[in-house]
Structure 1
Amino acid sequence: MKTDFKTIDENHKKNELFSTKNAKSRILILAIFTCCIFINGQSGPDFTILADKAFQKLYQNPDDCISYSQSLLISDQNTEHKIILQNIISQAYAMKGDYVQSVNASAQKDDTEKDRDISYFMQLFGEYNLADQYQNLDLYNQSQKIISSLLSDTKLLKNESPKSKITIAKLYQLQAINSAIIRNYSTAFDNLNKSDQYIDFHNEENRMIGFENKIFRASYLMRQNKYNDAKILLDQVIINLEKESHQPFLSALAYENLSRYYFLTENYKTAIDKLEKGLLEIENLPYNNLKSKIYESLAKTYFALHNDTKYHEYNKLYLEIKSKLDSNQKEGIRYIVKLVETYQNNNLEFQRQNQSKKLWLLIVVLISSITSLIVYFLIEKRRNKDLKKQVYFFEKQKKRERPIPIATYHKEKQEKIIIDRTAEKDSNKISKEKEIEILQKLNDWEQSDRYLNKSMSLSTLSAQMGVNTKYLSEVINNSKGKNFNGYINELRINHIAHLLKTDPAFLHYKVSYLAEFSGFSSHSAFTTVFKSVTGMSPNSYIQEITKNKMS
């Protein structure tokens, strides 16, 4: 059975998002740990040793890391030491997928300590940690704004101290992740190269950042169909990790990425072997995000081998752990919004400095009302519904690889907008500029295939884009001509219809699998929506495609 390499590669994009959540978490601790050595005159070798041990436990077992770090917190009264330890605990929870506890741990503050006793660099890390938390929760737009602000800080970029270099290396790494999210791989590679320039490889912290960058680079190469280059890089990472002290998380992450090479080249048995090696590294450890990806990859690989027993076994494990992670992520999003509001209400001193303006803008994006005119998009009534839907659908399939730019789209609709806007002078309507911004974000999101996620909802998409839910809904209704459910369902149908047309292997799949693959909760729902979008049932569409290929 042939496999659509490009499609499978896109379906694995979540692996990179997972790498983002966990790899960045650990490097944050590295930067903070390095920072404490240089900026606090009271930081002695004893705490350096203890913090290093806590950091090592982060890679080996998050639960042990949390217990050990909490025991240090009890006796250590140094403000900066407490910040370092709290961030280690926070990232340990993030690696477990417990985002509520992660946000809570990073937000803890001893009221007896005064903000003025905390150095500028540690305050800077407070904002950096907020960006890190946003990335843990897939809120990439919010995270990117903070990271861009930090990278524009000349005070930081001009500092040649080791603590600054390791921080800049991590910031460029995060910028690479943000670029890859929107498929700007050239910029992603450029940022990874800049990150490498600040790494000296003379200590464990720098070596770990180097490993992370190589894994990210291999993942992006894979998404560009440069499979052999990615494999060479991952093989090298695994060999080098074997020379290090036991690193179960990094080893499992490398094996999971390497398995994708073998899957994409249809060497399914070797792919399973790599996945099992990765799972063996963390099977008894609470790295739940990584386990989720390994379970999912095992299920897909066994499905390709037509091993229904193994497929259902691992798919069940994947669905169980993914459900818990999704639920915790939604709670984490709500919690971090409250956290940001608390920061603003308490008027922390760091917010009163120049950096406060950036955080305030972020809060405004999350909680303020957006005013302007509502754009109406008129939908032409159609007769002979099913026949016209079929003609329209096949025409749209031909143009699917050539999306209309938002600016062009808006220009073409300008006359209709002006007509509909004559009676819409109310200041509560959405502005033209904001509409274009939201439409551009929707266009980027449509290219990411994240709409295939079963848990995707209007509120989740709103949080990811940093857009008010009400106005996001209005823009979708007006510009797409349908509500959110209709919009995302049509994206899913267009996606699976394109695969059926371009990859012969999908013509042999059961309709129930096509429904699950494209993000629908049931066979019946998929069939109903498929007919409403294309004008024909899935089986009829498959027959039509098969007939055309034979003729």
Structure 2
Amino acid sequence: MVGILVENKQKTDSFWKMIQKNNTLILFFILLCPFLMKGQSGPDFTILTDKAFQKLYQNPEDCIRYSQSLLISEKNIEHKIMLRKIISWAYAMQGNYVQAINTSNQKEEDGQEVKQSRFSKLFGDFNLADQYQNLGLYDQSRKIIADILTDQSLQNVSNVKVRMTLAKLYQLQAINDGVSGKYDYTLKNFDKSDRYLDYNNEENTITRQENMIFRSLSLMKNNRLYESKKQLDKVILEIESEGKYPFLTAFAYEAVSRYYFQKEEYTTAVLYLEKGFAKIEYMPYNDMKLIFYELLTKNYLALNDTEKYSYYNNLYTDLKSKLDSNKKEGIQYIVKLLEIYHKKNISYQKQSKLKQVQFIVGGILLLIIGTLVCFYYELRRGRDLKKQLIFFEKQKEIMVLAVHTKTSKTSHPKENRAQDKDIAKLSEEKEKEILEKLKEWENSRNYLSRNMSISILSAETGINPKYLSEVINSKKEKNFNGYINDLRISHVAYLLRTDPAYLNYKVSYLAEFAGFSSHGAFTNVFKSITGMSPNHYIQEIIKNKKS
């Protein structure tokens, strides 16, 4: 050990002697010092954002305060985008969807136009898909993600930020597929999400644990209960051993309660729900609380505990009304976000085209320079200067014309769109397209939402409200309200015929489930469509089953 120290001391002495003899090395060392000091001046941004992401699952209000404090001093545009997204997530967890949309889309205070990098473009697309999903617009979310993932160059990226965004995109798409009942695709997309979670930080760990819980829920819906429970036991053991994230713990217990509800072990399901709810009871996770209230309502209904059913049903109804109202307002804001999204896309495309034009112009300039060199070279050799100049000018005119032709192509789509708007009546093709979209939308069962309106249907299908109204009136032979009511009653009637559990529900619950404002309204519409009251209909089904 002493020998090593002596040897190191000798090496150090010789190093300093060499520096003293060489002034260049001293100068180099002086110039290098500021860069070395700068590299160690403060904590890495990835560490700070990782801490902000952790707070998201500990308490959303703390997360907002902490992230905003980082945002004040942050200058990097990409860092700002990521911090705003974390704040947006926190607001969404509170059920404040309007603030979530506004925050993630906040402009720079100096008002300067910011050039989009490839990452900020990708993250902006991800943000829009995420906001759509938060508002229950799953088809729109799915389409945006599908378009993003067609870019094959993203599949093998090494950039940590891009890989994390891809993991989130596959997670979102898996959830979208789960809502549509495509459980095989759901599991595949969760597996793809996990492949990108290869960076050793808490955000990756939390996202992986979320994927495990979502995966177990998908297995559960696919009646693979044993696999689902095995997955849940594994993730709960992991989450409880860490004991850091109340939201994740509550989410896991909520999933377990669904498993026991499906097995009709309602008492055990309630125990897990109460255990999970205790983790977030005094925290503003309103989006998660709504789920707990709904599940507690269903379980106590199954247990015939009228008092607790009524208590949790009131909590559920009140909170759902508030969140639905905010969500409805959020859908109006998402239209503005979509406009900005399209503007940013156009800006990004312009930047890309500008780079292409610069590349072309650079190539032309190189060609011109090469031509000039050749020209003067030929001039030295006694070629005819006048012929060369005429030839060169003609070539130059052709090149400039080619560039002008390429850059002028962008004006035609606007003319076509303007022409499209002049079409007064819907063509048969357009009517067919609208009917197909309506058929897809009907499969989503979004018509069960109490707040359903022609404007929400327009947002969910991407069809002009005027065209929607025209097609529904002419092809469905009823007005919008009649169309929605018909879908709702048909769906409830189908469930009553095929699922015995619904025969035990009260008519008031069926009315609320179907999106009606009151028991009376549901009964009147039900009778007008089926020719009998809901109670009469239920009794007829029970009689037929007995006979």
Instruction: Verify: 1:511 aligned to 2:507, yes or no.
Output: yes
**Equivalent in the alignment of 2:32:** none
> Which stretch has the larger CA shift, 289-298 or 64-73?
64-73
**Equivalent in the alignment of 1:462:** 458
Partner Cα separation in structure 2 for residue 312 and residue 444 of structure 1: 36
Contact 1:299 1:311 (C-alpha < 8 Å) held by counterparts: yes
Which of these residues, 131, 137, 160, is aligned with residue 139 of structure 1? 137
Partner Cα separation in structure 1 for residue 506 and residue 89 of structure 2: 42
Instruction: Verify: 1:547 aligned to 2:543, yes or no.
Output: yes
**Equivalent in the alignment of 2:214:** 216
**Equivalent in the alignment of 2:148:** 150
Which residue identity lines up with residue 94 of structure 2 in the other structure?
A: K
Larger radius of gyration: 2
Q: Alpha-carbon deviations, 1:267-323, whole Å to 9, x = none?
A: 111111111111111111111111001011111111111111111111111111111
Which of these residues, 482, 485, 492, is aligned with residue 481 of structure 2? 485
Q: In the superposition, relative to structure 1, how do residues 46 and 476 fare at CA in structure 2: closer, same or farther (>3 Å)?
A: same
Which residue identity lines up with residue 98 of structure 2 in the other structure?
A: V
Which residue identity lines up with residue 85 of structure 1 in the other structure?
A: L
Contact 1:139 1:466 (C-alpha < 8 Å) held by counterparts: no
Q: In the superposition, relative to structure 1, how do residues 355 and 194 fare at CA in structure 2: closer, same or farther (>3 Å)?
A: farther
**Equivalent in the alignment of 2:310:** 312
Contact 1:490 1:533 (C-alpha < 8 Å) held by counterparts: yes
Contact 1:79 1:113 (C-alpha < 8 Å) held by counterparts: no
Measured after TM superposition, the shift of residue 92 of structure 1 is 1.2
Which residue identity lines up with residue 465 of structure 1 in the other structure?
A: T
Partner Cα separation in structure 2 for residue 128 and residue 370 of structure 1: 32
**Equivalent in the alignment of 2:374:** none
Which residue identity lines up with residue 135 of structure 1 in the other structure?
A: Q
Which residue identity lines up with residue 430 of structure 1 in the other structure?
A: L
Which of these residues, 96, 114, 138, is aligned with residue 98 of structure 1? 96
Partner Cα separation in structure 2 for residue 370 and residue 205 of structure 1: 49
Measured after TM superposition, the shift of residue 210 of structure 1 is 1.4
Partner Cα separation in structure 1 for residue 116 and residue 501 of structure 2: 60
**Equivalent in the alignment of 2:204:** 206
Q: Which has the higher helix share?
A: 2
> Which stretch has the larger CA shift, 235-244 or 507-516?
507-516
> Which stretch has the larger CA shift, 538-547 or 466-475?
538-547
Which of these residues, 289, 292, 315, is aligned with residue 291 of structure 1? 289
Partner Cα separation in structure 2 for residue 253 and residue 159 of structure 1: 31
Q: Structure 2: where are the runs of 5+ without partners?
A: 1-38, 355-412
Measured after TM superposition, the shift of residue 346 of structure 1 is 8.1
Q: In the superposition, relative to structure 1, how do residues 225 and 461 fare at CA in structure 2: closer, same or farther (>3 Å)?
A: farther
**Equivalent in the alignment of 1:440:** 436
Measured after TM superposition, the shift of residue 108 of structure 1 is 1.7
Partner Cα separation in structure 2 for residue 213 and residue 432 of structure 1: 44
> Which stretch has the larger CA shift, 235-244 or 477-486?
477-486
Partner Cα separation in structure 1 for residue 41 and residue 481 of structure 2: 55
Q: Structure 1: where are the runs of 5+ without partners?
A: 1-40, 357-363, 373-425
Instruction: Verify: 1:163 aligned to 2:161, yes or no.
Output: yes
* Larger RCO: 1 or 2 (CA < 8 Å, sep 6+): 1
Which residue identity lines up with residue 169 of structure 2 in the other structure?
A: L
**Equivalent in the alignment of 1:535:** 531
Contact 2:250 2:279 (C-alpha < 8 Å) held by counterparts: yes
Contact 1:96 1:288 (C-alpha < 8 Å) held by counterparts: yes
Which residue identity lines up with residue 484 of structure 2 in the other structure?
A: I
Partner Cα separation in structure 2 for residue 212 and residue 457 of structure 1: 33
Partner Cα separation in structure 1 for residue 180 and residue 86 of structure 2: 29
**Equivalent in the alignment of 2:192:** 194
Partner Cα separation in structure 2 for residue 116 and residue 531 of structure 1: 59
Which residue identity lines up with residue 501 of structure 1 in the other structure?
A: R
Q: Alpha-carbon deviations, 1:171-216, whole Å to 9, x = none?
A: 2222222222322222222222222222336332222221122122
Contact 1:157 1:164 (C-alpha < 8 Å) held by counterparts: no
Q: How does 1:107-506 map to 2 (within 5 A)?
A: 107-112=105-110, 115=113, 119-200=117-198, 202-342=200-340, 349-353=347-351, 427-506=423-502
Which of these residues, 53, 70, 73, is aligned with residue 72 of structure 1? 70
Q: In the superposition, relative to structure 1, how do residues 314 and 64 fare at CA in structure 2: closer, same or farther (>3 Å)?
A: same
Q: In the superposition, relative to structure 1, how do residues 508 and 259 fare at CA in structure 2: closer, same or farther (>3 Å)?
A: closer
Contact 2:105 2:337 (C-alpha < 8 Å) held by counterparts: yes
SS in 1 for 2:48: helix
Number of aligned residue pairs: 448
Partner Cα separation in structure 2 for residue 44 and residue 157 of structure 1: 33
Contact 2:293 2:315 (C-alpha < 8 Å) held by counterparts: yes
> Which stretch has the larger CA shift, 79-88 or 53-62?
79-88
Which of these residues, 44, 53, 56, is aligned with residue 54 of structure 2? 56
Q: Give the TM-score of the pair, scaled to structure 2.
A: 0.75
Q: Alpha-carbon deviations, 1:458-488, whole Å to 9, x = none?
A: 2222212222222222222333222222222
Root mean square deviation of aligned Cα: 2.9
Contact 1:62 1:96 (C-alpha < 8 Å) held by counterparts: yes
